[in-house]
Each structure stands twice: as C-alpha cells, then as structure tokens.
Structure 1
Amino acid sequence: MSNTQDAALQQRLAQGDESAFREVFDLYFKGLVLFATKYSVDKEAAEDLVQDVFVRLYEQKSKIQFHTSLKSFLFQSVRNRCIDYWRSHKVRERHHGEILLTTNPETLDSQELMLQTELEEKVFEAIRQLPEQCQLIFKMNRFEGKKNQEIADELNISKRTVETQISKALKRLREEVYPYLKAIIVLVCWWF
C-alpha cells in the first residue's frame, strides 16, 4: 500500500467510514495474527489479541493520531498487546504459585481456592477495563515495581500525572472489586 493510500485510509477511519474499517481488517488481520504467534502466543490467543486491537481502533478511531503508517501502527499495537498478555500471564502464574505455596496441600479447600481465583480474575478484568494510559501506568507501578518518577521519565509525563492515574486506577478497582468482595463475605458467612 502506498503512503498516499495509507493516509487516505487513515483519514477515512478518522471520519468513521465503516467500509474503511472493513478494508483495514481484511487487509491486515491474517498478517497480524501470524505476527502475534511469533511472540509464542497460540493461534486462538493471537486472534483474540488482534481482535482487541481492532476493537480499540474502532472505538478510538476519531481520537487516534497516527505518527507512523497505519501498518506500523497496527503491528506496534499488536506487539504491545502481546507483551501485555505475557506480563499478565506471568503475574497470574506468580499469584497462583504464591497461593499454592501459602496453602497446605492437605488442607487445600477447593472452595477457598475457587474464590481466590475468581477474585484474581475480577481484579485483572478491572485492570483491563482501565483507559490505556491509566492501565499502562498502573501495571508499570504495581507489576513492574517502578517508582512514580521512573514512570514519569519513561513516558515523558509529569510525576503528578502518574500519581493521578494510579489514584484513578485504584479508585476504579475498588469500585469494580468491592461489590464482588462484599458478595463473597456474605457467602462465606452463610457457609459458616
């Protein structure tokens, strides 16, 4: 695709042209899935990650600013989603391992383990629902252990912005997870 065609397609996308979105999907979907599998993501997960990128592109089409070609933007977005996928996968494995290490296998209560797993899933789902920058900042802080100033320097934003985004993320997590925790407490009390 020539630079002129690429720019025209980007402009049509920004204007909400449904046929442009379909063209982009048809043009790049298979290649992006193949690209995602290079990151050791199975085909099904790769398809899901690429679909996520297209959903975000569709939802944000009027706000997205292309600093590169459309193709480069899509491939970079899929690369980032694959990295996020592996980071969250590693964090989940670590949490599952910690649960198993802190629980005596002889007294392992499957009901308790199920509740812990469901809670963990609820937390990760709430994180995935955060706006992109907020999610990135929160993950860098909580999962990668980076300090606020490090994040600010790396993303070229103010430390105050980092603090605000982390506060927003924590507030959102409380809003999303608290009702679920309340239900678990009621359920546990009912069992006993």
Structure 2
Amino acid sequence: MADYRSYADQQLLTLLKKGDERAFAEIYERFWGVLLRYAQRMLHDEEECRDVLQNTFVKLWEKSPKLSPDTQLSAYLYTLVRNQVLNVIAKDKLKADHLTDLTSYMDNAVPEADQLARTHQLHQLIEEEVGSMPEKMRQVFELSRNQQLSHKEIAVKMNISVFTVKNHITNALKRIRLHLGL
C-alpha cells in the first residue's frame, strides 16, 4: 500500500485525474489548513470560509478529469478559493444592496401612507365644516374652491356683489381654521 503523504503534488494530481479517492483525500489534508487561512484573510467569517473550502474541493473533484497534467495544483487551488470568495463577497454585496433598497423603500413608503391618511382625515374635517356652513357661504366657498371660479364669476352666477363673495370666502376660511384648531 502506497504512502500518499510522500507523493509530490503533481503525482497526486495525476492519480486524482484517474479518480483516485485516496489522492483526493491527501490533497484535502495537505491543503485544507493553508487554504482556510487564505480564505479567512478575505472573508473573516469562519462558517463562510468553510463553505468556500467545501465548494473548492467539490470543484476540484468535478474538474479533475479535465485538468491539464501541467496544472500547478497549489496555484489552481488558491485560484479556486479566491474565485469562491469573490462569489461570496458579490452575493453579500447584492444582499446588502437589496436590503438597503428595501429599507429605503420602506422608509419612504411608510411616511407616504401616513401622509395619505392624514391628508384624507384633513379633507374629511374640511368637508364636515363646509357641510355645516350657512347655504350661501357654502355655495360661494364650493364655487371658489371646487370649481375654481373667480370672485367676479361667482358674483355674476349668484347675483351678489364681489364684496359679498369675498366676505363669504373669508368667513368660510375662518370657520375651517377654527374647526381645525389653527
């Protein structure tokens, strides 16, 4: 029985290309620690680093039959780890960006909904007060605000003076302000 610990990296790679599981186990034992430290320098999260190494060795096993015999094993493994780390960083950045976008949306959406509710409530209070006004005052106010008629147009339409129109609008606005507590 051969002692795989004495084999050079290139010998282990040749055996790995043929599907030798013991060669894979030796490569794993030989490189796990140094690759873990390499990943930790970039990620700082032990669990993510272990996942990166797991994926690295899975890729090594899957791609080993296609590797060139001239492949430098250690350089290839370091490249796999670096690429896996970059993938993790990209995914984390995407998650962070998504979270930032979602937080920003929620920060903006809640005030909009709150503002909408307040506007609706304010509109109801105004309508309530307008409904309780004397008939002529209410008609003048509604023609002014709802139909955007000028003072002169309202005066002609209702057969009253422009001065009376101004007085009705002034008194209507005072009543609304008083009702709203302004």
* TM-score bin (small chain): 0.5 to 0.7
Per-residue CA deviation, residues 33-79 of structure 1 (Å, 9 max, x unaligned), is 01100103312211110111001111222123365410111011101
Q: 1:87/1:5 Cα in 2 relative to 1: closer, same or farther (>3 Å)?
A: same
Q: 1:66/1:48 Cα in 2 relative to 1: closer, same or farther (>3 Å)?
A: farther
1:6 aligned partner, one-letter code: D
Name the TM-score, length of structure 2 as normaliser: 0.52
List runs of 5+ in structure 1 lacking aligned partners: 108-192
List runs of 5+ in structure 2 lacking aligned partners: 1-6, 111-182
User: 5 Å matches for 1:84-103?
Assistant: 84-103=87-106
CA contact (8 A) 1:66 1:73 kept: no
Per-residue CA deviation, residues 127-186 of structure 1 (Å, 9 max, x unaligned), is xxxxxxxxxxxxxxxxxxxxxxxxxxxxxxxxxxxxxxxxxxxxxxxxxxxxxxxxxxxx
Name the TM-score, length of structure 1 as normaliser: 0.50
CA contact (8 A) 1:41 1:82 kept: no
1:101 aligned partner, one-letter code: S
- Aligned partner of 1:22 in structure 2 is 25
User: 5 Å matches for 1:135-146?
Assistant: none
Q: 1:48/1:6 Cα in 2 relative to 1: closer, same or farther (>3 Å)?
A: same
Residue 79 (structure 1) aligned with residue 76 (structure 2): no
Report % sequence identity.
27
- Aligned partner of 2:49 in structure 1 is 46
Q: 1:35/1:63 Cα in 2 relative to 1: closer, same or farther (>3 Å)?
A: same
Number of paired residues? 105
RMSD: 2.2
Note the C-alpha offset of 1:6. Answer: 2.0
2:34 aligned partner, one-letter code: G
SS at 1:65 equivalent: coil
User: 5 Å matches for 1:20-169?
Assistant: 20-65=23-68, 68-104=71-107, 107=110
Residues in 2 aligned to 1:99 and 1:106: alpha-carbon distance in whole angstroms: 10
Residues in 2 aligned to 1:103 and 1:67: alpha-carbon distance in whole angstroms: 55
CA contact (8 A) 2:19 2:65 kept: yes
